[in-house]
Structure 1
């Protein structure tokens, strides 16, 4: 397993490539640190992620691929770390080709939208651990990718997923907010990022939907807790991987 002793400090065309709706997008993330460190940062035992095995660090995670996520469906059980496909379409919409797979859910409508109402009511909440994410602001008429991370500590993205105790998950969305716009692109949205303590609370099945909605709004980390820098355009190709993708351009 790739072990990192410390945590690191989509383009619009993705929607066309993968046929999904972004809902104001967080469309590319990174997961390159040891998942056991994320578990510990939430106050969980590192053994939750021990079964994951020898992972290849991922510096360019795109929708419609599997991402690692934490969940806890049973208050009597320990949490889990599992691979879930990033993208969701409710069962009732799967035969309707006009309805796209979604990768993000808006904080304003996630409790009431028909797309997510079942997941929300069933408390099927997940946390996506991440080192950061990318935004593509237009600067001087050119899209310039930026890598965004917390100044200190890991990112915990709040999400919902079609998860079950005895069968594979059916897909996942990351919840986004328009607070401050995207951190770099004011016309974009950003993922709802929680700290470790609030991430653990988000996963607590005893937390009622009303409390979960309040947690999203009050626990979302402020813009000044993040840092970002421009990175190379190679990140625009989902096939590209490696630590060079998050290195600042000179």
Structure 2
């Protein structure tokens, strides 16, 4: 987790659901039912007390690590305070709004995708770490990763990891620059929505192909 997500609404509607009256928009990414790593997606962050919505590359690798580490798309909550992620945890906290995410089960060649979403139909506010600003050598230098946690039992039949999703108020706290690194890590661990807040169902294998899109990708199929 997480290899794809459903971000089929526009940024202004996500901001409204987040509970903010307005934001500074620097986002031109079109809504998609099949957001894939390596693409640019709308991300929330705070700058001088103003909520900003910027299109960031999904995938991050520090500039100094170009010859040492692969590009990351997720960051485990258990490792947020290590030397690699610690700087972003202090100054690069972000939120990725979405309607759901996808996971796969089954053997290679027969993988079944699932759409996972909130039971109440509300948007997800997934915690992220990001490096904002221009890149020098590779766009992953200015990208984001989703924060993931153990699936804690009930969702493990679909996947053993899941994105850390908070309600809108707690996600706004995550963005607060006055929150210390330790406080941010504790928030991510303690306030993540539990498995019982979600439901999931099988969807079309069309979602397996990163270039495909459309509402049918998020619709349930018969068992």
User: Under a length normalisation based on structure 1, what TM-score does the superposition of the two structures give?
Assistant: 0.79
> 1:17 maps to which residue?
none
Could you tell me how far 1:36 is from its partner in structure 2? 1.6
> 1:226 maps to which residue?
198
> 1:175 maps to which residue?
147
**Mapped contact 1:73–1:124 kept (Cα < 8 A):** no
Could you tell me how far 1:93 is from its partner in structure 2? 0.5
The one of 184, 187, 199 aligned to 1:215: 187
The one of 195, 198, 206 aligned to 2:170: 198
Gaps of at least 5 residues in structure 2 are 136-140
Please say if 1:70 is aligned against 2:39. no
Kindly tell me: are residues 228 and 104 of structure 1, through their superposed partners in 2, closer, same or farther at Cα, counting changes over 3 Å?
same
> 2:96 maps to which residue?
128
**Mapped contact 2:151–2:160 kept (Cα < 8 A):** no
| Structure 2 CA distance for aligned equivalents of residues 116 and 219 of structure 1 | 20
| Structure 2 CA distance for aligned equivalents of residues 149 and 218 of structure 1 | 20
**Mapped contact 2:23–2:53 kept (Cα < 8 A):** no
Provide Cα deviations, 1:26-57, integer angstroms capped at 9, x if missing partner: 110011113222212222123444x646x632
The one of 93, 101, 119 aligned to 2:71: 101
Could you tell me how far 1:187 is from its partner in structure 2? 4.8
| Structure 2 CA distance for aligned equivalents of residues 229 and 247 of structure 1 | 9
Could you tell me how far 1:85 is from its partner in structure 2? 0.3
> 2:114 maps to which residue?
146
Please say if 1:116 is aligned against 2:85. yes
Q: SS at 2:117's partner residue?
A: strand
**How large is the Cα RMSD of the aligned pairs?**
2.1
Kindly tell me: are residues 182 and 48 of structure 1, through their superposed partners in 2, closer, same or farther at Cα, counting changes over 3 Å?
farther
Gaps of at least 5 residues in structure 1 are 1-24
The one of 21, 26, 33 aligned to 2:2: 26
**Mapped contact 2:45–2:94 kept (Cα < 8 A):** yes
Q: SS at 1:70's partner residue?
A: strand
| Structure 1 CA distance for aligned equivalents of residues 154 and 145 of structure 2 | 17
Could you tell me how far 1:88 is from its partner in structure 2? 0.5
The one of 25, 36, 40 aligned to 2:16: 40
| Structure 2 CA distance for aligned equivalents of residues 47 and 109 of structure 1 | 31
| Length, aligned pairs only | 215
